Structure 1
Amino acid sequence: MARAGLTTARLVQAGADMADEVGFDQVTVSALARRFDVKVASLYSHVKNSHDLKTGIALLALEELADRGASALAGRAGKDALTALANVYRDYAREHPGRYAAAQLRLDPEAAAASAGGRHAQMTRAILRGYDLTEPDQTHAVRLLGSVFHGYVSLESSGGFSHSAPDSQETWARILDALDALLRNWPAP
């Protein structure tokens, strides 16, 4: 029988908190069992293994990011929407580094279908409606934005910009200006 108070949702939430504290790669079922002061076997009625736990954390992170993105985009268009969504990803990575890393986990097809990943693509495509792009250029632009957002956030979070001028916030603002200009003047094939 499952230990009173332990649920899959509670374990995933605790795993997400742990990921932010010690890093996503350090989250395991045994580490979580130590946190709850229970035997590892007590958790197996809620999660199959560490990969299952990490998948749950990834799904939670994707959902949190999508919710923040949707709120940030409400009523915005064009560069204002682009900046809002970009800042959601950057701010989330700063506040929740372990969860942000979890959101990058490659999900199996079943988990991916159940995830909020589709909402992320829809939000990015909503931004692009303000730039009058058609297919396949929209898909190219979605990939570009995802690459820039994730790439910058990853480099910044690993300390890649901490020892040089100008300030990384200034660079971030310039990158968003450049993306806006590129999207408004998308090159013909």
Structure 2
Amino acid sequence: MPRAGLTSGRVTEAAAELADEVGLDRVTLAALAQRFGIATPSLYTHVRSADDVRVRVALLALEETADAVAAALAGVGGRSALVALGGVWRDYARAHPGRYAATRLPLDAEAAAASAGPRHAELTRSALRGYALSAADETHAVRLLGATFHGYAALDAAGAFGHGGASAPTSDDTWERVLDGLDTLLRSWEAR
């Protein structure tokens, strides 16, 4: 019999919180059961496995970030759209490291189709509307922005840019240069 008040959604939310606290790789059914004060087998009414829980966290995180990207992109274009798009990923990775890690999980075809992944691609395309790109080049640019923003966000959130001493440029300084470089590249992109 399902525990009163416990739902798949509540399990997913708790798993997302736990992932942010201890890391996605440490989200286990036993840890979730302990959080709810129940026996681990009781969770099987709501989720299939630890992998299922991680996929659910990924779907939640992709939805949260898609909503944040959509709000950030409202009314902006060009470099401002790059700032908005990249800023969402950078901020999300810092604020929700476990959820962010889940956004990078490979999803099977069914989960990918149900995810906000396609929405993210469309949102990124909308961020590129201020640039004169062909449809094919837009695809290349979507991939470029994804690789750049996710690589930077993951490294930055992990503290990888905190070295170099007091006289070194800050991560924020470098981020601005990255955005300038992307904007310059996209404005001068040549069709092939």
For the criterion TM > 0.5, the same-fold answer is yes
2:173 match: 170
2:45 partner SS: coil
1:20 match: 20
Alpha-carbon shift at residue 80 of structure 1 (Å): 0.8
Where do 5+ consecutive residues of structure 2 fail to align? Answer: none
2:54 match: 54
Alpha-carbon shift at residue 30 of structure 1 (Å): 1.2
> Aligned pair 1:180/2:176, yes or no?
no
> Aligned pair 1:96/2:96, yes or no?
yes
Per-residue CA deviations over 1:114-169 (Å, capped at 9, x if unaligned) read 10011110011011111010021111100000000011111112221111221000
**1:9 is aligned with what amino acid?**
G
> Aligned pair 1:150/2:150, yes or no?
yes
1:40 match: 40
Given the two structures, how large is their TM-score scaled by the length of structure 1? Answer: 0.98
Whether the 8 Å contact between 2:14 and 2:32 is mirrored in structure 1 is: yes
Using the alignment, how far apart are the partners of 1:58 and 1:35 within structure 2?
20
Whether the 8 Å contact between 2:133 and 2:191 is mirrored in structure 1 is: no
Where do 5+ consecutive residues of structure 1 fail to align? Answer: none
Alpha-carbon shift at residue 72 of structure 1 (Å): 0.4
Using the alignment, how far apart are the partners of 1:159 and 1:95 within structure 2?
13
Between 1:159-168 and 1:15-24, the stretch displaced more is 159-168
> Aligned pair 1:64/2:64, yes or no?
yes
Structure 1 runs, 4 residues or longer, greater than 4 Å off: none
How many percent identity over aligned positions? 60
Using the alignment, how far apart are the partners of 1:160 and 1:54 within structure 2?
25
**2:75 is aligned with what amino acid?**
G
1:134 match: 134
Given the two structures, how large is their TM-score scaled by the length of structure 2? Answer: 0.96
Using the alignment, how far apart are the partners of 1:158 and 1:144 within structure 2?
21
Alpha-carbon shift at residue 188 of structure 1 (Å): 3.9
